[in-house]
Amino acid sequence: MTGTWAIIVAAGGGTRMGVAQSKTLVTLLGVPVIRRACEPFRKVCEGIIVVIRPQEKSLFEDALRGLDVLFASGGETRRQSVENGLRILPDACQWVLIHDGARPLVSEELVTRVLEKTKSIGAAVPALRVFDTLKHVDESGRILKTVDRQGLCSVQTPQGFRQDALKEAYRLSGDATTDDAALMERAGFLVAITEGDSHNIKLTTVEDIILAEKLLAQRLPRIGFGFDVHRLVEGRRLILCGVDIPHEKGLLGHSDADVALHALMDALLGACAMGDLGRHFPDTSKEFEGASSLALLKRVKELLASQGFIPYNVDITIVAQQPKLAAHIPDMRQTVACTLGINLSCVSVKATTTERLGFEGRGEGISASAAVSIVTG
C-alpha cells in the first residue's frame, strides 16, 4: 500500500442526467455516488484525492463524512482537473490510480488488479473486449464504414501509473484528453491492459442510475436468523458446533442434535428464503437418524451454492448453564469456518447463561441462536 494514492475525478456537472449539481452527489440506494466510488480505494491506497468544483465542497464534505480524503479544485477540462490532483500528491507517492467519480460500482478486486499490473509494467488500464459490431458515422448519422473490431476493447478506470511517468506524459502533451493512458501512449510509455469489470459502468444518464441500482441490489447481503432448542438427557454425546464437549448429558434429537449448528443452518436457509431445516432434513427420515450436523451443514452450503449464495459471516450464541464452554469456543469457530469455507475472522461463537432462570438455567436443555449474512456469488 505504501506510496499509492488515488485521484477521484468528480468535477463534472450533471447536465445530461438532468441534475443541477455534480452527478457524483446523486445517491444510489441511499449512498452518494462519490462515496461508493471512493470506498474501494481505502484499503488499497495510502491516500485519496477527490477533485471537485470548489462551490460544491460543502456538499462533498457531507457526502464523504468519515472518509479521510483531500480535495483539489477541478479545472475547465478533465485534463486540468487531473493535473490539479497530481499537484498535491505527496513526494512519497510512487503509484497513482486515476478514477472517474461517476463509476461507483468499481470493486476493491478491480482496484487491486489494476495496481498489481501497474507495478509490474509501469502503467495499466482495465478493459473489456468489444463484441458488438462497430460503425463509423458522420454528424448526420449516416454510416461511413464498418469498423473491424478485431483487437478492439473499451477501457475503464481506475487507470494506474507511476507518478513521475504520468507527470512527464502531461508535460510532453498539451492536448485535452478523456483518457490518461492516451497521454502515456503518445509520450512513448508502455501501457498494459488488465481485465475490466462489466459492472464498472459510468453514470451518464438517468437510465444508468436505474441500471446501477439494479446491479447494486444484487450485491446487497441477505440476513438470516435461526433459533433451536434441544433437551439434555443422559446417554447422549454433547456436540456443539461440531465439537465434542465433555459432559454427563447430551442433547436429544433425531440427528446428533447439535443445537448450535441447527440454528446456524436455519439462519442460512432463511436468509435465502429456502425454507427451514425440517423441510430439507425431516426428522421422520431414517436417512438423517443420528446424522452428523457438520455433514448436514456441508449439504446446506452446497444447496446455497447451487442458487448462487455464499455465506459471508456467522454469529452464533449458545445458551447453557452447564457445561462451561469458553475453552471450546476456538475449536467451534475453527470447525464452522472450515466447514463453510469462510475466514475465521468472519465466524463468531459466544456462550452465555440465563443466571439459572428458565429451562436452560435449570439444566433441562440448551438453546442457540444464529445470525448470518449471505452474499451472491
Per residue in 18-61, pLDDT (tens digit) is: 677 899 999 988 889 999 999 999 989 999 999 999 999 999 99
Confidence (pLDDT) at 30: 82
One domain for residues 202 and 233: no
Cell 470447525, residue?
A: 335
Residues found in the chain: 377
One domain for residues 93 and 189: yes
One domain for residues 340 and 369: yes
Gap between the Cα atoms of 31 and 35, Å rounded: 7
**How does DSSP classify residue 322?**
S
Highest mean pLDDT among 76-80, 81-85, 150-154, 341-345: 81-85
One domain for residues 163 and 42: yes
One domain for residues 175 and 231: no
One domain for residues 146 and 67: yes
One domain for residues 300 and 183: no
One domain for residues 161 and 55: yes
Q: Which residue has the higher pLDDT, 122 or 305?
A: 122
Q: Among residues 185, 219, 253, which one ends one of the domains? A: 219
Q: Would you place residue 377 in the very low, low, confident or very high pLDDT band (cuts 50, 70, 90)?
A: low
Give the domain CATH number at 372: 3.30.1330.50
DSSP per residue, 211-248: HHHHHHHHHSPEEEEEEEEEEEEETS-EEETTEEE--S
One domain for residues 112 and 179: yes
Gap between the Cα atoms of 262 and 230, Å rounded: 10
In single-letter form, the type of residue at position 91 comes to D
Sign of the alpha-carbon torsion through 325, 329, 260, 295: negative
* Domain housing 73: 4-219
Gap between the Cα atoms of 72 and 93, Å rounded: 16
Confidence (pLDDT) at 321: 94
Residues 146-157: tens digit of each pLDDT: 988 888 999 999
Q: Would you place residue 1 in the very low, low, confident or very high pLDDT band (cuts 50, 70, 90)?
A: very low
Confidence (pLDDT) at 29: 80
Number of domains in the chain: 2
One domain for residues 86 and 232: no
Record the cell numbers describing residue 21, joined without a space: 449539481
Confidence (pLDDT) at 174: 79
Q: Buried b / exposed e across 213-243, counting CB within 10 Å, b at 16+?
A: eebbeeeeebebebebbbbbeeebebbbbbb
Record the cell numbers describing residue 250, joined without a space: 447430551
One domain for residues 167 and 114: yes
Confidence (pLDDT) at 110: 97
What number of other Cβ atoms are within 10 A of residue 277's Cβ? Answer: 25
Q: Among residues 219, 250, 278, which one ends one of the domains? A: 219
Gap between the Cα atoms of 108 and 157, Å rounded: 12
Q: Among residues 219, 243, 269, which one ends one of the domains? A: 219
| pLDDT(355) > 70 | yes
Q: Return phi, psi of residue 369, to 5°.
A: -130, 155
Contact 39, 48 (CB under 8 A): no
Average pLDDT over residues 302-309: 87
Cα-based distances in Å from 141 to 137, 147, 148, 204, 280:
5, 15, 19, 21, 59
Give the domain CATH number at 146: 3.90.550.10
One domain for residues 31 and 178: yes
Confidence (pLDDT) at 245: 95
Average pLDDT over residues 333-355: 93
Average pLDDT over residues 283-310: 90
